[in-house]
Amino acid sequence: MTAPALPAIGAPLSRVDGRLKVTGGANYAADWRPDGLAYAYQVQSTIANGRITAIDTAAALREDGVIAVLTHENAPRVKAHASNPNDRSLHVLQDDVIEYDRQPIALVVADTFARAKYAASLVRASYAAAAPRTRFAQGEHYSPREVHGEPADTLRGDPDAALHASPVRVDAIYTTPVEHHNPMEPHATIAMWHGDQLKVYDATQGVLAARARIAGVFGLPLDSVQVIDSFTGGGFGTKGSTWAHTILAAMAAKAVGRPVQLAMWRPQMWGGVGFRPATRQHVALGAKRDGTLEVQIHETLSQTSMFDEFVEPSGTITTMLYASPALRVTQELTRLNYGTPTYMRAPGESTGSFALESAMDELAYALAIDPIQLRLRNYAEVDPTKNIPFSSKSLRACYERGASAFAWNDRTPAPRSMRDGRYLIGMGMASSTYPTNRSAASSGYEIRPDGTAIFRAMGVDIGTGAYTTFTMIAAETLGLPIDRVRYELGNSDYPPAPVAGGSQLTASLGSATRMAALEARTRLIALAVADTRSPLHALDPADVGIVDGRVIALATPARGETVAGLLARNGATPLTGVVSAAPGDEKKAYSMHAFGAQFAMVRVDPDLGTVRVVKQVGAFASGRIINAKTARSQYLGGMTFGLGMALLEISRPDDRTGRFMNANLGEYLVPVQADIGAMEAILVEEDDPHVNPIGAKGIGEIGIVGAAAAIANAVYHATGKRIRDLPITPDKLVS
Query: Which positions are annotated as active-site residues?
Result: 701
Q: Which residues pair with 286 in a beta bridge?
A: 169, 295
Question: Could you give the dihedral angle defined by the CA atoms of residues 401, 402, 405 and 410, in that order, rounded to the nearest 10 degrees?
Answer: -110
In 7-95, which ranges are continuous DSSP H helix? Answer: 18-23, 58-62
Angle of helix 628-647 versus helix 707-719 axis, rounded to 10: 50
Q: Are 479 and 7 in contact (CB under 8 A)?
A: no
Kind plus residue range of the DSSP H or E element containing 683: strand 678-683
Q: Are 21 and 463 in contact (CB under 8 A)?
A: no
Q: Are 347 and 316 in contact (CB under 8 A)?
A: no
DSSP-based three-state secondary structure for 603:
strand
Q: Which of 656, 596, 649, 660 is nearest to 623 (CA)?
A: 596
DSSP-based three-state secondary structure for 56:
strand
In 207-272, which ranges are continuous DSSP H helix? Answer: 207-218, 244-256
Q: Which of 250, 258, 257 is nearest to 107 (CA)?
A: 250
532-554 burial code (b ≥16 CB/10 A, e <16): eebebeebeeeebbbeebbbbbe
Q: Are 552 and 560 in contact (CB under 8 A)?
A: yes
Kind plus residue range of the DSSP H or E element containing 272: none
Return d(Cα 432, Cα 398) in angstroms, integer: 10
Kind plus residue range of the DSSP H or E element containing 491: none
How many other C-beta atoms lie within 10 A of the C-beta of residue 664? 13
Return d(Cα 270, Cα 103) in angstroms, integer: 10
1 contacts: CB under 8 Å, gap ≥ 6: 522, 525, 541, 542
Q: How far apart are the first and last CA of the chain?
A: 69
Q: Which of 454, 438, 442 is nearest to 492 (CA)?
A: 442
Q: Which of 460, 459, 486, 461 is nearest to 472 (CA)?
A: 486
Q: Are 163 and 286 in contact (CB under 8 A)?
A: yes
How many other C-beta atoms lie within 10 A of the C-beta of residue 240? 25
Please state the three-class secondary structure of 637-682 as a single string.
HHHHHHHHHHHCCCCCEECCCCEECCCCCCCCCCCCHHHCCEEEEE
Chain Cα centroid distance, residue 690: 23
Return d(Cα 312, Cα 202) in angstroms, integer: 26
Q: Which of 503, 498, 502 is nearest to 580 (CA)?
A: 498
Q: Which of 515, 465, 504 is nearest to 487 (CA)?
A: 465
